[in-house]
Amino acid sequence: MKILVTGAAGYIGSHTVLELLEAGHDVVAVDNLCNSSRESLRRVEALTGRSVPFVEADIRDESAMRAVLTGAPGRAGPDAAGDVAESPESAGATVPAGDFEAVIHFAGLKAVGESTEQPLAYYENNVGGTIALLRAMDAAGVRRMIFSSSATVYGDPVAVPIPETAPVGSPSNPYGYSKLMIEQILRDLAAADPRWSVALLRYFNPVGAHPSGRIGEDPRGIPNNLVPFISQVAVGRREALSVFGDDYPTPDGTGVRDYIHVVDLARGHLAALGHTKPNCRIWNLGTGRGYSVYEAVAAFEKASGQKIPVRVAPRRPGDIATCYADPTRARDELGWQAEHDLDAMMRDAWNWQQQNPDGYGEQ
């Protein structure tokens, strides 16, 4: 299949591009590099021995997206001027014309805390950007989308494990609402026009890195998420991990999450590509097992041989006690299930961090 991947240079995007190429798909990558480095896709090219045509563009630019989807070289209309730049590296692999069968849509802003400070930026980028992309897809006749949603749409769940039929809750931040809004837009679109095929993938907590250690998660600034923070403590970039609350109603008092290896998550997208009926469907991508913060720290210490200093801090606003998936539907309908355990996730997170203590750096 020929697939357009938005947000392709990012953490989950780069791992998914790699899996797509290895499965024999053709990929065109789009990213505005606002939270990623061009280097990730260069490394994917090196790992797979295949080229990834790369278009530096913003998904909010509808005419730029139309140009990519129809294969028009560089730009579609005057308003796209300056917004589409094929990277020099892709000059030998110019964006091949049209014929896309699907779009895997990762592009978006994802920092929960930042979204409460800059709600407009989040709604504009995530919701506005997705609408522009959908309009471009419609115009180009490409009506299959796989969308990166999040377990955050469940809010504080009434019960765990969480099936797709659980009520969506009230996310505690604009980021979460942007995901809920996009889900609704995609549901409405699929209901209005049966030619659309939409997969809503609700990710639980993606962690780890490709086993090669060549690609991985490279957060800017102080990491918000647990595993990147632990990894930076392990290489000496941070002093100690703050454990956000040890008084939750969980076995050891710390928050419980469903951590999923990013390679398993990436493969979930390949599985979803094969599914077309019904024309809008939700799948959880999680392992079905929850681990506490202390269990995650212990697994990282075992994988790395490093002691991780921790100190208990107050609860982080908006956090919930426990969240893990019921992944049965993805197993039954997509034939997909997570294969890597927590030890493998931490081993690969550590391998990446050790090989790239400063991430991709200023490449």
Task: Kindly list the residues in this chain that would bind ligand UFG in the complex (CB under 6 A).
Answer: 110, 112, 150-152, 176, 204-205, 224-226, 229, 241-244, 255, 257, 293, 316, 319, 323
Taking CB under 6 A as the rule, which mask of x and - marks residues 45-84 in contact with ligand NAD? -------------xxx------------------------
Residue 286's binding partner among ligand UFG, ligand NAD, none (Cβ under 5 to 8 angstroms by kind) is: none
Residue 34's binding partner among ligand NAD, ligand UFG, none (Cβ under 5 to 8 angstroms by kind) is: ligand NAD
The encoded tokens of residue 6 equal 């938005």
In the complex with ligand UFG, the residue whose CB is nearer, 93 or 181, is 181
Is 148 one of the binding residues for ligand NAD (CB under 6 A)? Answer: yes
Task: Please say if 175 is a catalytic residue.
Answer: yes
Is 108 one of the binding residues for ligand NAD (CB under 6 A)? Answer: yes
The answer to whether the CB of 271 falls within 8 A of the CB of 334 is: yes
Distances (CA, A) of 315 to 110, 226, 246, 253, 265: 20, 14, 8, 11, 28
Separation of alpha carbons 33 and 47, rounded Å: 21
DSSP code per residue over 187-235: HHHHHH-TT-EEEEEEE-EEE---TTSSS----SSS--SHHHHHHHHHT
In the complex with ligand UFG, the residue whose CB is nearer, 87 or 225, is 225
> Parallel, antiparallel, or unpaired for β 85-86 and 54-56?
antiparallel
Q: Which of 3, 5, 9, 241 binds ligand NAD (CB under 6 A)?
A: 9
Distance of CA 357 to the CA centre of its chain: 22
Q: Which of 122, 123, 154, 175 is catalytic?
A: 175
The answer to whether the CB of 96 falls within 8 A of the CB of 28 is: yes
Smallest gap, in angstroms, from Cβ of residue 36 to ligand NAD? 3
The encoded tokens of residue 254 equal 């710390």
Q: Which residues contribute to the site for ligand NAD (CB under 6 A)? A: 6-7, 9-13, 31-36, 58-60, 106-110, 125, 129, 148, 150, 203, 205-206
